């Protein structure tokens, strides 16, 4: 898939696409074989449990709010303007415990199956089904500690 030139307008997903992923809003901004970019809105109290992207590097540029991350077993915090670098294969979890919404720009390289994953889990409410589909799309959720 080739990237098409143009502008994805502010506040919109490319082609009008908007996904609800377990209470978070994801808007795809750009998709090509090399890179997939999407804007997110994490309401307070939402999170992505610890997981691994086995085939992608992931980057998160924080636009508004504060995230707490579990990165390779360590707890770290990010604020607006920070870029979080998540190398392929590194376990990580993303948590909004800030008391306010968090807005961020995510991108992965290469794109692989992440767009397909979000399309398939849009509006799903069963976490077990999300975990099953995620594994089919090269994202592995980790078992809870203990």
What's the pLDDT tens digit per position in 69-100?
999 889 999 999 999 999 999 999 999 999 99
What is the rounded end-to-end Cα distance, in angstroms, of the chain? 42
Helix (H) or strand (E) run with residue 114 in it: helix 114-121
pLDDT of residue 71: 93
* Stretch 4-16: mean pLDDT: 94
* 116 pLDDT above the threshold of 90: yes
* 30 pLDDT above the threshold of 80: yes
Report the alpha-carbon distance of residue 104 to residue 120 in Å, rounded: 22
pLDDT of residue 38: 98
Percent of the chain with pLDDT strictly greater than 90: 93
* Stretch 39-49: mean pLDDT: 97
> Sorting pLDDT into bands at 50, 70 and 90, what band is 122?
very high
pLDDT of residue 4: 86
3-state secondary structure of 11: coil
* 115 pLDDT above the threshold of 90: yes
Give residue limits of the domains in the chain: 26-141
Q: Write down the architecture of domain 26-141 according to CATH.
A: Sandwich (2.60)
pLDDT of residue 72: 85
* 146 pLDDT above the threshold of 70: no
pLDDT of residue 137: 98
**Short-list 19, 56, 71, CA closest to 139:** 56
């Amino acid at each position: 898939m080739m990237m098409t030139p143009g502008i994805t307008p502010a506040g919109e997903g490319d082609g009008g696409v908007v996904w609800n992923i377990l209470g978070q809003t994801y808007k795809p901004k750009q998709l090509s074989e090399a890179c997939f970019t999407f804007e997110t809105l994490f309401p307070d109290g939402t999170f992505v449990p610890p997981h691994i992207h086995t085939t992608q590097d992931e980057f998160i540029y924080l636009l508004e709010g504060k995230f707490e991350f579990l990165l390779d077993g360590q707890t770290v915090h990010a604020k607006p303007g920070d870029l979080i670098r998540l190398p392929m294969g590194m376990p990580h979890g993303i948590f909004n415990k800030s008391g306010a919404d968090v807005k961020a720009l995510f991108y992965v390289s290469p794109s692989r199956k992440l767009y397909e994953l979000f399309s398939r889990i849009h509006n799903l409410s069963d976490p077990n089904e999300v975990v099953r589909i995620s594994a089919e799309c090269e994202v592995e959720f980790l078992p809870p500690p203990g």
